[in-house]
Amino acid sequence: MFSKILIANRGEIAVRIIRACNEMGIHTVAVYSEADAEALHVNLADESYCIGPALLKDSYLNMTAIIDVAIATGCQAIHPGYGLLSENPRFAELCEKCNIKFIGPHWSVIAKMGDKDEARRTMKAAGVPVVPGLDEITDVAAAKKFAAEIGYPVIVKASAGGGGRGIRIVYKEEDFENAVLTASAEAKSAFGNGKVYLEKFLMDVKHVEMQIVADEQGNVVCLGERDCSMQRKNQKLIEESPCVALKPDVRQKMMEAAVLAAKTVHYTNLGTIEFLLDRQDNFYFMEMNTRLQVEHPVTEYVTGIDVVKWQIRIAAGMEFSSRQEDIRLRGCAIECRINSEDARNNFRPSCGKIALLHIPGGPWVRFDTAIYQDYQIPPYYDSMIGKLIVYAHDRTEAIRKMQAALCELVIEGVHTNAELSSDILAQPEFKDGSYCTNFLDKFLKNYH
Ligand code: MV4
C-alpha cells in the first residue's frame, strides 16, 4: 500500500480524497495555487505546496510542477480527482514515466475513451448498443444525406469533447452544414482536434450512467446506476440512484453492457459508462468517463462501498473484495450540487465571503464541501461549492429528507442555487421520476 499520495486537485474532491487517505493511514500532499492559500484541502493535508498563480494553466494544470512536488516529497501515487488532469492521458503517461502510480486507468485507455468517436466504434464492435449515427464526418455532403436518412433532429458531437462540450443539435436540414462546420471549428480551437461525428438526437430520454469498479486482476463489477437527467446546459444539477424509469430486467442488461464495455477496453480502477434510456426501454452507449465522478457519493450510499478508498487500493494492486453477486443496491440516494451562482440572475457566478454557514445533519445527511465560516470564495474556479447527499429507504422519504436538508442549509454571503433545487424537487415530474434531459431547460424558461 502507498505511504504517501499527492492529491492533484482542489475544493471538495481534494478534501474527500484526503479524508479517505487519513482513514487508510496514508500521508497526504496537497498542491495549491496562490489563490487557494486559505483553502481547506491545504489545511487538512499533511504537507502542502504552492505550485503557481491562480489561473488553472499556471497551477492545477501545470503537469511538471505537480510531478516535481510528487517526486520531491517521495509520493508513490497521484490522485487526480475529477476534471483538471484526471482524463489527460499525457499526464497519466508522465506519471508512469516518472514511476509514480496514476490512480486511474492506464493512459492508453484514457486516450481511447477520450476520443468519443473511437469510443463509439469500440463499443459498437463489442456489441454494446450505440445511438444510430455516423462515425467521423469526413464528407459533409455524405453526412447530410445520412442525416436525412435517420431523420432530424440530429446531434453533432466533437470527438475530443464530451460532457456536453462541442455538441450541436440540428433540427432542420438547412442548418446542417453550418452546424458541422462551426462544431468542428469550435472543437479545433477548444480541444486542438476538429473531428466530429453524428448521432440521431434522441428526445424524451434519461441520462443513466453505470458505475464500474475494475481491479488489476481482471475483476469487473458494476455498482448500479445514477440518473443524471436533471441537467442545465449539460451541467448536472441533481443526481439520484436508483433510476425510477429503469425496470429490473433493463437494469440487468444495462449493467451487463457496462461490464462488457469495461472488459472490452481492459479497464482498471473506477469508471462510468453513460447511457441514454428511451421510454421504450432501449438504451444506448453515449460515452465513458475514465475518472471518479462528482456524483460518486450517491453510489456510496446505495451500495455501502467507499469508492475512493477502492480507487487507492486497486491502484496499489489489491483485488476488489466484492463479486457482482455480492453487490446489494438498497434504498434511494439523491445528490444536489450546491453552486455559488445567482439562479435568478442568469446563473451569474457569485463570489465573496461566507458570512454565515450552517451545515444540515441527521441520519444519512452528507455535505461534501471545502467551504467554511468566513471562507472567501475565489473567482477563478468552478462554481460548485458543495454537494448535499441524502439516503433513505425509499424515494419519497429521500425527497423529504433532501427538502429538509436544503431548508436547513444556511450559506450567507453568496448567492446559491439551493432554493432552485428545492423548487425542482417539488415538481410533479421529479416526484414521479418522469423527468428527462430536456426538463430543466424547459422549467427554467418560466423560473423567476
Ligand atoms: C445525446 C442526447 C440525445 N441524443 N446524444 C449531453 C452531454 C453529453 N453527455 C452528451 N449529451 C447528450 N447526448 C444523443 N444522440 C442527449 C444528451 C444530453 C443532453 C443534451 C442536451 C441538453 C442536456 C442534456 C442532458 C443530458 C444528456
154 C-alpha to ligand 1 centroid (Å): 11
Q: What is the pLDDT of residue 162?
A: 77
The reply to whether 90 belongs to the active site is: no
- 8 Å CB contact between 220 and 212: yes
| Cβ of 154 below 6 Å from ligand 1 | no
Q: What is the pLDDT of residue 402?
A: 98
167 C-alpha to ligand 1 centroid (Å): 8
> Is pLDDT larger for residue 198 or for residue 345?
198
Pocket test for ligand 1, best of 165, 197, 286, 443 (most atoms within 8 A of CB): 286
* Domain at 206-446, CATH from 3.30.360.10, 3.30.470.20, 3.40.50.300, 3.40.50.11810: 3.30.470.20
Q: What are residue 369's DSSP bridge partners?
A: 386
Q: So where are the chain's domains? A: 4-103, 132-200, 206-446
For residues 14 and 7, give the distance between their C-alpha atoms in angstroms, rounded to a whole number: 6
256-273 pLDDT per residue, tens? 999 999 999 999 999 999
pLDDT band at 234 (very low <50, low <70, confident <90, very high): confident
Protein residue closest via CA to atom 23 of ligand 1: 234
164 C-alpha to ligand 1 centroid (Å): 7
138-185 pLDDT per residue, tens? 999 999 999 999 999 999 999 998 777 788 999 999 999 999 999 999
| Cβ of 208 below 6 Å from ligand 1 | no
CATH number of 4-103: 3.40.50.20
Rounded to two decimals, the pTM is 0.97
| Cβ of 274 below 6 Å from ligand 1 | yes
Q: What is the pLDDT of residue 233?
A: 87
**Average pLDDT value for the chain:** 97
Comparing CA positions, the residue from 317, 382, 312 lying closest to residue 28 is 312
The yes-or-no verdict on residue 51 having pLDDT over 80 is yes
Q: What is the 3-state secondary structure (H, E, C) of the chain?
A: CCCEEEECCCHHHHHHHHHHHHHHCCEEEEEEEHHHCCCHHHHHCCEEEEEECCCHHHCCCCHHHHHHHHHHCCCCEEECCCCCCCCCHHHHHHHHHCCCEECCCCHHHHHHHHCHHHHHHHHHHHCCCECCEECCCCCHHHHHHHHHHHCCCEEEEEEEEECCEEEEEECCHHHHHHHHHHHHHHHHHHHCCCCEEEEECCCCCEEEEEEEEECCCCCEEEEEEEEEEEEECCEEEEEEECCCCCCHHHHHHHHHHHHHHHHHCCCCEEEEEEEEECCCCCEEEEEEECCCCCCHHHHHHHHCCCHHHHHHHHHCCCCCCCCHHHCCCCCEEEEEEEECEECCCCCEECCEECCEEECCCCCCEEEEECCCCCCEECCCCCCEEEEEEEEECCHHHHHHHHHHHHHHCEEECCCCCHHHHHHHHCCHHHHCCCCCCCHHHHHHHCCC
Catalytic residue among 10, 226, 291, 337: 291
Q: Which superfamily is assigned to 132-200 in CATH?
A: ATP-grasp fold, A domain (3.30.1490.20)
294-347 pLDDT per residue, tens? 999 999 999 999 999 999 999 999 999 999 999 999 999 999 999 999 988 899
Torsion sign across C-alpha atoms 341, 415, 372, 49: positive
Q: What is the position in ligand 1's atom list of the atom closest to the CA of 202?
A: 4
